[in-house]
Chains A and B, each alone.
Chain A
Amino acid sequence: SQTIHQWPATLVQPVGSPLSLECTVEGTSNPNLYWYRQAAGRGLQLLFYSVGIGQISSEVPQNLSASRPQDRQFILSSKKLLLSDSGFYLCAWSPLGTFNQPQHFGDGTRLSIL
């Protein structure tokens, strides 16, 4: 069966520090991968998605970036965090080329910027 892992689960970082969040998927190949952010008490905002290694699409302008160095690894990064980067970051995957299945979410990383 397929599983998705995110780490760390929680993170407290000072403003201006760098960020690296990692997501890996097991049990499938060539997945679509997604990064979402959920601000407190609000809906999900799609940040990045990827349909293959090295292929990243950005949905909103921001100081975050994403990379996909391996088929089942998705990394969210920042060189300098802002206060507005606080939130709940969720990684998700879906099977490539199929639209009749939902996206499956990881457990998320709760990021607090001080």
Chain B
Amino acid sequence: ELKVEQNPLFLSMQEGKNYTIYCNYSTTSDRLYWYRQDPGKSLESLFVLLSNGAVKQEGRLMASLDTKARLSTLHITAAVHDLSATYFCAGGGANSKLTFGKGITLSVRP
């Protein structure tokens, strides 16, 4: 059974600084997804990572996947207030089922 872990559950970031958050998973998963959730809202897809060494970038966010280490990272460059949200990673299984981590809530302060 796939298990996905995200730590910490909450991270306070200073505007303008760089940060990296991590997603570990327990068994082989050939794809990894990142989602964003704003308070009270639904989930928005950010990245789909399909192979070892995959790297995707969108604006100030860059995600990567290391299947050997069973680790995905989400790097934030020069944090801005608009990035404040909860970020979920999810590992893929059969029938496109996803197993989600508990999410990391990011708060960007001036």
List chain A positions with a Cβ less than 8 A from chain B.
32, 34, 42-44, 46, 49, 51, 57, 90, 92, 94, 98-108, 110
Contacts and interface: CB of A to CB of B under 8 A. Distances in A.
Given A42-B102, A43-B103, A49 B95 contact: yes
16 contacts: A32-B96, A43-B101, A44-B43, A44-B88, A46-B97, A46-B98, A49-B95, A57-B95, A92-B43, A94-B96, A99-B31, A99-B50, A101-B48, A105-B42, A105-B44, A107-B42
Interface string B67-110: 00000000000000000000010001001111111110000000
Nearest to A50: B95
Interface centre among A92, A101, A103 (most CB of B within 10 A): A103
A99 B35 CA distance: 16
A112 B49 CA distance: 35
B7 interface: no
Kindly state the interface size class of chain B when it binds its partner.
Answer: 20 to 34
Interface centre among A32, A57, A99, A100 (most CB of B within 10 A): A99
A82 B8 CA distance: 31
Main secondary structure of the interface of A (DSSP, over half): strand
Contacts of B28: none
B33 interface: yes
B18 interface: no
B8 to A, nearest CB: 14
A98 B31 CA distance: 12
A104 B45 CA distance: 7
B104 to A, nearest CB: 10
B43 A105 contact: yes
Contacts of A108: 41-42
Given A90-B43, A94-B96, A108-B41, 11 more contacts: A46-B97, A46-B98, A51-B95, A57-B95, A99-B30, A99-B96, A102-B33, A102-B35, A103-B45, A104-B45, A107-B41
